Structure 1
Amino acid sequence: MASHVVDDTALAGFRTGLAGDAITPGDAAYDEARTLFNAMIDRRPAVIAQCETARDVAEAIRFGRENGLEIAVRGGGHGVAGTALNDGGLVIDLRRMRAATVDPRARTVRVGGGATMSRLDRATEPYGLATTGGRVSTTGVGGFVLGGGAGWLDRKFGPACDNLLSVELVTADGDTVRASEDENPELFWALHGGGGNFGVATSFTLRLHPLPVVTAALLLWPPDMGLDVVRAYRDFLEAAPDEVGGGVIYMTAPPEEFVPEDMVGKLACGVLVTYAGEMQEMRDVAEPVLGLDPDAEMATECSYADLQCMFDDPPGYRNYWSAEYLGSFPDPAVERFCARAADLIVPSPSQHVLFPQGGAVARGPAEYPIPWRRAPWVVHPFGLWEDPADDDRGRRWAREARADVEPWSMGAVYLNFIGREGEDRLVAGFGPDNHRRLAEVKARYDPENVFHLNHNIAPARGRAG
């Protein structure tokens, strides 16, 4: 959509009506306000509305539509495709709407649409409660939950959307609606994986679970041990209890005290074991991998909120990610996965990851539009680098890593793990039947496709209103 010149009088009136702020080019806060996690994204919106209330959001939507501005919605700003920004349009920035209020008796939390996982996790920590969050503390709650929400706890408690109790949403018409099992149930269904297609989610209520302590162990080996390690990890996870999460991570060995000096800065094959419980329980359960004589080992017992901060991705890097969801992970797939690690950009924060699913992920409600939950394994090439000269190399590596394991793919994909990869991949993220149903919901709540900067679902034709 082409950019528009915003009328000064209209902008002044908009600013006056906001509890928050409207930032424009030339304002001191503008460059910070338009910075995203992915440093590849460099876009210049005409107006950034830093909303503080649902009323602000409604006013921003009306202002954007009345002035012909393309609308983007920003929560955490972690989406790899950078759709939280646009050029010459309006950004509805929710980051000031970040409060998290816990009801310990009901074991629920109400959290603002602009909160990060850290804000949520720190609010629940004093009560020994937690819910499935992203794998880093800086992920935005809104995009994470609306996309389905996979994380370290999903084998135990299910994806984030399985723990979703209600959503408050401002629609394209500026109306505020509530979605739950009892109110607007079809919209509530769509919000279990359908993303930001249906409006701006200003708050979520999520189910919490008792979790006073977690344990994490990071184990590192030289890459030539990768085949043996990955096979052993696969066999271990296929029999592991739901409390076990983590993954295999080919990575640059970090400059930490537990890492031998001759490994630092070089490619390593890592296994991360997360455990929803105490250290000794983890050690007993994870003996099949702990006993593989790692060259480096770090293990700690901590709160879930602290675990979430341990693996935060550094900001300021250029990003390209993809994913393939596998129906099986036999030895030939292991071999291809391990071989591709040799092309990882090292040293950098890039990672070549294998995540397990199963457990509560697989057992969860089959009716939600997240067909990827049935896959037992996920290969996730996660590319981060500094030099723009590495852009082509980084993108090619991620695409080839995905192609390596495509023979074992089940077809579905978690859309939060990928950028724009075409209509076929979009439909695969929901499943064809779910995609058609989501288009019907889209036609009801956003018939003009105002909210199209996302993994977009076009509204079903002839079904508006």
Structure 2
Amino acid sequence: MGTVEDFRGELIQPGDPSYDEYRKVWNGSIDRRPGVIARCTGVADIRSALAYARRTGGPVAVRGGGHSFPGHSTCDGGIVLDLSLLKGIRVDPVRRTARAQAGVLLGELDRETQEYGLATPAGIVTHTGLAGLTLGGGIGWLMRKYGLTIDNLLSVDVVTAEGELLTASADTNAELFWGIRGGGGNFGVVTEFEFQLHPVGPTVYAGIVAWPMEQSPEVLRFYRDWIADVPDELTTAVVHRCLPSLPTIPSELHARPAVVVVVSYSGSVENGERVVAPLKAFAPPMLDLCTPRPFLSLQSMLDPTFPHGRWYYTRACDVDELTDEVIDIAVERGLAIDSPYSLFPIFHLGGAIARMDPDSTAYGGRSHGHAFNFVGATLGPDGFDAQREWVRESSRALEPHQAGVYVNFLTDEGSDRIRAAYGATTYDRLQALKQKYDPGNLFHLNQNIPPN
């Protein structure tokens, strides 16, 4: 395949002892064989790798944490720009900002910022890559109080398809900054992010409250009424799933089908207890793990649900509200779960997300009320086809109620779904930006927005 010139990092090719290990990504159902994996140590390596890609014409995959559901962080043939060595984090507790490089994982950023009692909104699984999550928007447990991850992004450094290093912020390359905040990896390789931080923790009121799956109709209808006037400090999700086999869960409840409300309150513990009390009181739960806990414990709570190597298949959509019809569909799809690893969260949006000017970033779902994400999962290929069909049936059932879709939850579903994630006006603006910064569509292994 030729060589990547002037490269200081590690180049891994087929036949190398570590090749099979480094070609793996989080989703075990993705099995691809890149021509070369370029483990970049800095901007110079990224520019060298991109020059190689332009010269050879092969596909380019950019990998931060490798958490892409459809496997966009790897490829067959071509080159993988592996940014996992770029781990620099610098926290300024006075300005309440943090700079983080593109290989940082969410848990690594949280650990550094929590040293000062600070955090930025960033996801629900600690081993997710910060870069990919941020570029698509970034929903997480602080979003109703402090907005999406992109709403707390102050600036980025980005290497374009031609190898130019640019800074983008509200004052510099402002249109590029607009597009990067929600437009994914379409415009270049972001090498460093600067975030606004907020006082959070170290202790928050958070956890899960669960009822038997057959009580899903009552739980969802109560939940709909309860969240109508909760404060922005409260972010929640309803999850239909089988309870996992964890030490924190009594053994007699392991694998029990349940409807679970995940709770995160970003204000005082006392206020959190008061706000959540009606949820616990409306019907006796079979499991209550909602309690004061370290913020880092909240952030890692769902890690065992999404481990590396499981086979995952997903479909998602946003809805405006939990109507009776939507609730009936959710109940039916929950009762149809027959894998201990499959589930679907329904994230409550709104709050600070909805208060942002919808034109301020490229994120397309600010007015939506809830985000569904149906995840079919198995330990390996056995049973995977059945879980994939459960996901597809669930998605089809919600089609009449869909208001759009969160781009980070998309798989390879075609251009119409990508347009739906942004809306026509935003999509056209992103296309013009793509034409300016990547007219040859070098960065197409993503939720791709082709040039004009």
* TM-score of the two chains, using structure 1 as the length reference: 0.93
What does residue range 52-71 of structure 1 map to in structure 2 within 5 Å? 52-71=41-60
What does residue range 372-411 of structure 1 map to in structure 2 within 5 Å? 372-410=365-403
Distance in 2 (alpha carbons) for counterparts of 1:301 and 1:406: 38
Give the CA deviation at 1:260: 4.2
Q: Which secondary structure state, in structure 1, belongs to the residue aligned with residue 50 of structure 2?
A: helix
Distance in 2 (alpha carbons) for counterparts of 1:418 and 1:392: 19
Distance in 2 (alpha carbons) for counterparts of 1:99 and 1:365: 32
Do 1:439 and 1:458's aligned partners in 2 also have CA atoms closer than 8 Å? yes
Do 1:259 and 1:297's aligned partners in 2 also have CA atoms closer than 8 Å? no
Query: Residues 48-92 of structure 1: CA distance to partner in whole angstroms, max 9, x if unpaired?
Result: 000010111011100121123211100111010101111111000
What does residue range 167-206 of structure 1 map to in structure 2 within 5 Å? 167-206=156-195
Q: Does 1:355 align with 2:347?
A: yes
Give the CA deviation at 1:310: 1.5
Do 1:125 and 1:303's aligned partners in 2 also have CA atoms closer than 8 Å? no
Could you list the runs of 4 or more consecutive aligned residues of structure 1 that deviate by over 3 angstroms after TM superposition? Answer: 256-262
2:288 to 297, 316, 325: 297
Distance in 2 (alpha carbons) for counterparts of 1:49 and 1:446: 21
Give the equivalent residue in structure 2 for 1:271: 261
How many equivalent pairs are there?
A: 447
What does residue range 313-328 of structure 1 map to in structure 2 within 5 Å? 313-328=306-321
Do 2:339 and 2:378's aligned partners in 1 also have CA atoms closer than 8 Å? no
What does residue range 440-459 of structure 1 map to in structure 2 within 5 Å? 440-459=432-451
Do 1:369 and 1:431's aligned partners in 2 also have CA atoms closer than 8 Å? no
Distance in 2 (alpha carbons) for counterparts of 1:159 and 1:220: 27
Do 1:156 and 1:359's aligned partners in 2 also have CA atoms closer than 8 Å? yes
Cα 1:260–1:225 change in 2 (3 A) is farther
Distance in 1 (alpha carbons) for counterparts of 2:63 and 2:250: 41
Provide the aligned C-alpha RMSD in A.
1.4
Cα 1:345–1:418 change in 2 (3 A) is farther
Do 1:326 and 1:378's aligned partners in 2 also have CA atoms closer than 8 Å? yes
Distance in 2 (alpha carbons) for counterparts of 1:417 and 1:31: 27
Cα 1:345–1:278 change in 2 (3 A) is farther
Give the equivalent residue in structure 2 for 1:253: 243
Give the CA deviation at 1:271: 1.1
Give the equivalent residue in structure 1 for 2:82: 93
Distance in 1 (alpha carbons) for counterparts of 2:257 and 2:56: 51
Give the equivalent residue in structure 2 for 1:284: 274
Do 2:371 and 2:406's aligned partners in 1 also have CA atoms closer than 8 Å? no
1:241 to 208, 231, 237: 231
Give the CA deviation at 1:397: 1.3
For 1:244, the aligned partner's letter is L
Give the CA deviation at 1:403: 2.4
* TM-score of the two chains, using structure 2 as the length reference: 0.96
Q: Does 1:84 align with 2:73?
A: yes
Q: Which secondary structure state, in structure 1, belongs to the residue aligned with residue 394 of structure 2?
A: helix
Q: Which secondary structure state, in structure 2, belongs to the residue aligned with residue 22 of structure 1?
A: strand
What does residue range 425-464 of structure 1 map to in structure 2 within 5 Å? 425-460=417-452
Distance in 2 (alpha carbons) for counterparts of 1:419 and 1:293: 38
Cα 1:257–1:95 change in 2 (3 A) is closer
Distance in 1 (alpha carbons) for counterparts of 2:11 and 2:95: 37
Give the equivalent residue in structure 1 for 2:298: 307
Give the CA deviation at 1:330: 1.3
Distance in 2 (alpha carbons) for counterparts of 1:18 and 1:235: 58
Q: Greater CA deviation, 187-196 or 259-268?
A: 259-268
Q: Which secondary structure state, in structure 2, belongs to the residue aligned with residue 396 of structure 1?
A: helix
Give the CA deviation at 1:315: 1.4
What does residue range 90-129 of structure 1 map to in structure 2 within 5 Å? 90-129=79-118
Unaligned runs of 5+ in 2: none
Give the equivalent residue in structure 2 for 1:165: 154
Q: Which secondary structure state, in structure 2, belongs to the residue aligned with residue 132 of structure 1?
A: coil
Give the equivalent residue in structure 1 for 2:334: 341
Give the CA deviation at 1:300: 3.2
Distance in 1 (alpha carbons) for counterparts of 2:190 and 2:21: 23
1:366 to 346, 358, 361: 358
What does residue range 405-420 of structure 1 map to in structure 2 within 5 Å? 405-410=398-403, 412-420=404-412
